[in-house]
Chain A
């Protein structure tokens, strides 16, 4: 559950050393990400298995718009950069920079999602509905799961921003931002795989 990180800004264990010396929330996020590997593993392998089994068109080759998806990929990549800058700025204690980078990251994420909406709409216009063929079902499911992850990430970033403006996101909480950053980068990693495996390798 992704909301955990949202709701629980790393306060859990201050004052009490944990056995490993790391915070509960961050550990929990990593454990969750490990688990998410299996989620995307299942989805990606389902897609790989099914994509060329459609009985009728349209096929991936007919639809994919690689130039556009490449731009989306870059946008997400840049958002990873701004995310990491947000973390490092807060670690240095620069709340102002942190806010800027958080906001930038969220907006870049929104561009990515906007791109996905665009992509889905054009595919749909070109005749690929969710139920049209087996490629359609698999493709939309896989990419929508990724999109939902990104959207959840945007929501978390926005919450961070709200917290920051309320004065609750000082340097001592840089780990909260870092934890959410982990999630964000993970989503980026998944996209790295999807971009290669789904889009570039026919």
Chain B
């Protein structure tokens, strides 16, 4: 099916500097993610969970999942650092700016302070 008539041999798989994970590793990573997701869903069944508690449990798990997907599936861990900078800058801006915005609305005053207490 592939009718590649390029004279040069197809360029070797794009070099990422480091070796990317193998398929087996990807599956393992997915299992980890799935496990965390199960834990997340599990919190739904905790009857007496307060919002504070849920935030305290769920947000860290969310961040871990986020980092795993970005780092491994999106190869940020292996790829050119410029990608990381561009993306994380956007992410950082988003979190900080909207965090501040929500703060000016007093959004965190109830939940957030409870955690600190």
For residue B17, give the distance in angstroms from its CB to the closest CB of chain A: 10
Q: What residues of B have a CB within 8 angstroms of the CB of A67 in the complex?
A: 41
Question: How far is A15 from B3 in the complex, measured between Cα atoms in Å?
Answer: 20
**Number of residues on chain B facing chain A (CB within 8 A):** 56
B contact residues around A181 at 8 Å (CB): 73-74
B109: Cβ under 8 A from any A Cβ: no
- B52-86 interface code vs A (CB 8 A; 1 in, 0 out): 00110011011001100110111100011011001
Which among A67, A78, A171 has the highest number of chain B CB atoms within 10 Å? A171
Give the dominant DSSP class at B's interface: helix
| Interface-facing stretch out of A34-42, A109-117, A128-136, A137-145 | A34-42
Q: Does B112 contact A (CB under 8 A)?
A: no
In the assembled complex, how far is the CB of residue B67 from the closest CB belonging to chain A, in whole angstroms? 10
Cβ contact within 8 Å between B82 and A27? yes
Contact status B80-A21, CB under 8 Å = yes
**A48 and B62: CB pair below 8 A?**
no
Whether a CB of chain B sits under 8 angstroms from the CB of A31 is yes
Query: Is B14 among interface residues, defined by CB-CB distance under 8 A?
Result: yes
Q: Is A146 an interface residue (CB 8 A)?
A: no
Q: Does A126 contact B (CB under 8 A)?
A: no
Report how far A193 CA is from B95 CA in the complex, Å: 12
* CB of B58, distance to nearest CB on chain A (Å): 5
Q: List which A58-77 residues lie within 8 A (CB) of chain B.
A: 66-67, 70, 73-74, 77
Can you report 7 residue pairs joining A to B where beta carbons are below 8 Å apart? Answer: A34-B87, A48-B102, A80-B33, A81-B26, A171-B13, A175-B14, A201-B51
A residues adjacent to B (C-beta < 8 A) = 20-22, 26-27, 30-31, 33-38, 40-42, 44-45, 48-49, 66-67, 70, 73-74, 77-78, 80-81, 83-85, 88-89, 91-93, 95, 164-165, 167, 169-172, 174-175, 178, 181-182, 185-186, 188-189, 192-193, 195-197, 200-202
